[in-house]
């Protein structure tokens, strides 16, 4: 994995565990020679990941829509900052530039990015690993809901392993490196759908 898209919030929660983890993720990726592709902001967890990766000598590519350059206070210190027109272009560029996706805690935008990465993997638009970093149990209910969707049949059994998750970045990266692509919906015959 040369680069990973990192999805996370632009907010700064009161509990310091979130920002400490974001900084650790940035340092860890840089230490492993993995570049960061992220939302291009300098605030919140976004900024913490980017700053830590840059401080550790890592590559950081920010991708931010023009309308959010001022709202998210674009990070001008990135290795590269790409300004796009729309959120759709932003997410497509995340996918084009990265070899996988890591999701840290965040809000609605982070969830949008995570579920689109999973959906695109199911369909076959990409075959890259999708990782979820479950910081301090933040995603316990989401992981349980993902299992529920599989158990009820809304996620096909062959796609149940798309969402990888761990409580720490190191084992999550190991899972992602070992990820074996599944059979995408685009290549399935009708009787397997």
**Matching residue, tokens 């999701």:** 103
Residue 77 vs residues 42, 69, 81: alpha-carbon distances, Å: 9, 13, 8
For residues 97 and 61, is the Cβ–Cβ distance under 8 A?
A: yes
Average pLDDT over residues 95-123: 97
Cβ-contact 134, 140 below 8 angstroms: yes
CB-based burial label for 13 (10 Å; 0-12, 13-18, 19+): middle
Length of the chain: 193
41, β-bridge pairs:
74
Token reading at 112: 């949008």
For the chain, list the domains and their CATH numbers: 3-192 (3.40.50.450)
pLDDT surpassing 80 at residue 113: yes
115-153 pLDDT, tens digit each: 999 999 999 999 999 999 999 999 999 999 999 999 999
Please compute the mean of the pLDDT values over residues 28-46 and round it to a whole number: 97
Residue 7, pLDDT above cutoff 70: yes
Residue 74: φ, ψ to 5°: -50, 140
> Which of the residue ranges 13-17, 69-73, 128-132, 164-168 would you say has the lowest mean pLDDT?
69-73
Tell me how far apart the alpha carbons of residues 142 and 138 are, in angstroms, rounded to a whole number: 9
List the end-to-end C-alpha distance of the chain, in Å, as a whole number: 31
Cβ atoms of 110 and 132 closer than 8 Å: no
Residue 72 pLDDT grade (very low, low, confident, very high; cuts 50, 70, 90): low
Q: Which of 65-69, 99-103, 171-175 is predicted least confidently?
A: 65-69
Residue 114 CB-density burial (10 A; 0-12 exposed, 13-18 middle, 19+ buried): buried
pLDDT at site 192: 61
């Amino acid at each position: 994995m040369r680069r990973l898209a990192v999805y996370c919030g632009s907010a700064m929660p009161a509990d310091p565990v979130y920002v400490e983890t974001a900084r650790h993720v940035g340092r860890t990726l840089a230490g492993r020679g993995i570049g960061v592709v992220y939302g291009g902001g300098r605030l919140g967890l976004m900024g913490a990941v980017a700053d830590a990766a840059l401080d550790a000598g890592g590559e950081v590519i920010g991708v931010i829509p023009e309308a959010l350059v001022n709202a998210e206070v674009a990070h001008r210190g990135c290795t590269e900052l790409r300004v796009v027109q729309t959120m759709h272009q932003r997410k497509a560029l995340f996918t084009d530039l990265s070899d996988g996706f890591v999701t840290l805690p965040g809000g609605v935008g982070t969830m949008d990015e995570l579920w689109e990465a999973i959906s695109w993997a199911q369909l076959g638009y990409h075959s890259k690993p999708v990782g979820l970093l479950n910081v301090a149990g933040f995603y316990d209910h989401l992981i349980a809901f993902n299992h529920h969707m599989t158990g009820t049949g809304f996620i096909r059994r062959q796609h149940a392993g798309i969402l990888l998750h761990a409580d720490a970045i190191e084992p999550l990266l190991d899972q992602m490196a070992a990820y074996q692509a599944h059979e995408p919906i685009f290549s399935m015959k009708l009787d397997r759908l």
